[in-house]
Structure 1
Amino acid sequence: MIRVLLVDDQRLVRAGLRMLCDSAPDLTVVGEAENGQQAIRLAEQVTPDVVLMDLRMPLVDGTAATARILANRPAVRVVVLTTFDDDDHLFPALAAGACGFLVKDASPDELLAAIRQAAAGDTPFSPAVLRRLVDQAVRARLGEAPAPSLPATLTARERDVLACVGAGLSNREIADRLHLGVTTVKTHVTSLLAKTGAGNRIRLALLAAQSGLILES
């Protein structure tokens, strides 16, 4: 059972998130907070696996709360859920340690999948956010270093999976696209992390973009 802490200053939003989580048999809401200060305290009391974190809140904002929660409990997975997907909110949240970033126009299925991905150690991002993050990182590196070469040990299927990661697809979306099992996709991603030395899925996506891997339609 995945233990979820909801953090949002709007009661109606929290109620909707609770109803959605309660509809999933593998999720349980262990607490709600209306500001970052409450979130920090509750994270210690209820020991969540995943925190759904709003950013703009009174007293202590979501970015500061994320940093404090992870300083105390590094194993907690914080997924930002916000209306604001601009860089001024995205990069500080990532620097604070958030493992994922979703905008509030995500579908219910996407949100539930993101919680499960985060709990499994994955990094859920809205595809547009991940694409922008990778594109910006690539632009920042232009002229600084030659494009990295991919390890010769990558198999053709691993290259396919890497291209999908670079396009911002989740493991489930990759599985559907490549007609694989989700467990097989996870195995390929794990192998890619080991072979490339990338520390996380974001770095894999960046490597795919820098290497010129394009997801074929």
Structure 2
Amino acid sequence: MELYIAQSLWNHDEPELESERILVELNCRHNLSAPVTFSHSFLSLYAMTQSRLFLLGRCLQDMAHADAVIFNHGWQRQRDCVYLYEMATRFTKPIYFVDDFIFLYDEKTQQFKPNPYLEDLSRVHAVEISKHFYPGGHETNVMIGYQVISQNADHPDIRPEMQRALPKATKQEIQAFTEKLEELKTDKDFQAILSLLQTMAREGESA
């Protein structure tokens, strides 16, 4: 099985990316029983002069050739990785998460130790909202933890999916959120609705 290591190339240098890949490979070989090979997107001198969209396109192309994709800890905070996750999900690419491994390599002790992130609620609190425009319409994606909920012309009502993703949220909160989502236009609108989503996620876990 060939695993593509998802990384955000934007604002990172190659030595930093390589160090991250080495750790991902160590953790995969220790936790996965099946033989694996690895692939990744290389940050060449030419690529460093290109736009963020160019780098993302390169990553999508490289990911498409692999059998599956793996996301490292903290991928939810990297917008490029969130988009790679959305595409992998939409096109049914098998996905692995380092955060789900039972053991992780500790660089200080150079030993494998129980994964501390398995009980880390920050993964559940991780939320993201993105809006993509295309000829004739647009699509809004709401990410809660590892779940992506898409709202578009073919699927305008996402309240049932939101309720399942946030079972502790009230119907009034879900309704208020979806109404604000439809009116999303400015940065101020985005910050307000993202704050509302973060609040619902935190309250849902602490309830």
Same fold (TM over 0.5): no
Report the TM-score, using the length of structure 2 for normalisation.
0.36
Structure 1 or 2: more strand by fraction: 2
Computing the radius of gyration from Cα coordinates, the structure with the larger value is 2
